[in-house]
Amino acid sequence: MSLPRPLVLSTLVLALAACQTAPTPRPAAEPAPVPAPVAAPAGPAANDNLNAVAWIQAAEEYRLLAGQTFRSALVQLDRAIKTPGWDALVPSERANPADGLPPAVIVDIDETVLDNSPYQARLVRDGGSYNEVTWDAWVREEKARPVPGALEFAQAAAARGVTIFYVSNRAAHLNEATVANLRAVGFPIESEAQFLGLGFFVDGCEQQGSEKGCRRQHVGRTHRVLMQFGDQIGDMVTIEANNPAGRKAALEPYLGWFGERWWVLPNPSYGSWEPALFNNAWSLPEAERRQLKLEALDYAE
C-alpha cells in the first residue's frame, strides 16, 4: 500500500534533520603517558658507629657521666693522699713498697682525657674505618679536646702535688704531637717523662703486645699510684684472655676498687670489648663480625 504524499514528505524532512544533527564520532584520545618512577635520593650509608659517635658528641648524658666521674674522683683523691697504704696498682705490678713514695695518678689518653670523636665522625661521614694513615693525620692535627671534667681534675690533682702520668698506646712516632696536644689544651706535663707511649722500654719487664702492665710497674717504682683512669679494662689490669669470661675474671678481684681507685670513662665507639665478641678475629669480613655480635646479644627468649 502507498503512503499519502504529505506523510512521505514529512518522513523525508525528519530523516534529513536527523542526519544533520547527529554528532560526528571523534577518534578516541590516546592515554596520557605514565611518568617514569623517580628514584629516591640516596641516603647516608649505614654505619655501625653512627649512634655511638653522635651520643659522645651530642648527648648531655655523656657530658654528665664523664664530668661526674672526675668530680667524684677528686673527692676521693683527697682521702687517698691522706691514707697510708692506699695504692691503685695490682699486687703483681707493685714490685716495691709504695709507702713514702710521692703520689701519682695514671691516666689513659684517648677517650679518657682526650676526645677523638671528630676523627670517628669523619670515618662515619666518609664511610671509612680506622687505619693508621688517617689516625696519624688526625693526631698530628693536635685538635683533640679534653674529655668533660678531665682537665679540671688533672689541674686540681697537680695543684695538690700529684704527678699525672699519661700511659698511652699511641705509636712512638706520635709522641711529640700527643704531648703538644695535651699541653695546648692545658694538661699539666712538667716533663716528657710523664708520657709513656707504646714501645716505652721498661728495664726488667717484658711487654706483651700493647698491654700496659710494664709501664704501670715503671710508674710504681718511683711513685705511689693513687688512682688509674681509662676507658678500657686493660688500662688498669692485664687481661689474660680477651673474651667475655677472661675479661670478667680479670675484674672480679678488684670490683671494689672501681669508683675508688679505678675510674672508667664511657666509650661505646670502640675498645677491646668489641673484638671479644668475635674472638678477636679482625680478619673476618665485616658482615661476619656483625653476625657474631648479633649472636652475642641477649634477647631474653
pLDDT digits (tens, 9 = 90+) for 207-266: 888 999 999 999 999 999 999 999 999 999 999 999 999 999 999 999 999 999 999 999
Q: Are 115 and 77 in contact (CB under 8 A)?
A: no
Residue 30 has pLDDT above 80, yes or no: no
Residue 77 has pLDDT above 50, yes or no: yes
Q: Are 195 and 178 in contact (CB under 8 A)?
A: yes
Is 61 part of any domain? yes
Is 74 part of any domain? yes
pLDDT, average across residues 145-155: 99
Is 17 part of any domain? no
- Same domain, yes or no: 96 and 154: yes
- Same domain, yes or no: 288 and 191: no
d(Cα 284, Cα 270) in Å, to the nearest integer? Answer: 17
Instruction: For residue 295, count CB atoms less than 10 angstroms from its CB and return exposed for 0-12, middle for 13-18, buried for 19 or more.
Output: exposed
- Same domain, yes or no: 214 and 244: yes
Residue-level pLDDT at 39: 66
Q: Rounded to an integer, what is the distance from CA 272 to the centroid of its chain?
A: 12
Going by pLDDT thresholds of 50, 70 and 90, the confidence category of residue 44 is confident
Residue 13 has pLDDT above 80, yes or no: no
- Same domain, yes or no: 55 and 149: yes
% of the chain at pLDDT higher than 90 = 83
- Same domain, yes or no: 162 and 279: no
- Same domain, yes or no: 104 and 203: yes
Provide the domain limits for residue 286: 271-300
Average pLDDT, the chain: 91
pTM for this predicted structure: 0.86
**Given the C-alpha cell 679536646, which residue does it identify?**
145
- Same domain, yes or no: 277 and 200: no
- Same domain, yes or no: 67 and 126: yes
- Same domain, yes or no: 174 and 289: no
**Which of 194, 148, 150 shows the shortest CA–CA distance to 175?**
194
d(Cα 291, Cα 271) in Å, to the nearest integer? Answer: 18
- Same domain, yes or no: 81 and 108: yes
pLDDT, average across residues 19-39: 64
Is 20 part of any domain? no
Q: For 180-215, what is each residue's pLDDT tens digit? A: 999 999 999 999 999 999 999 999 998 888 999 999
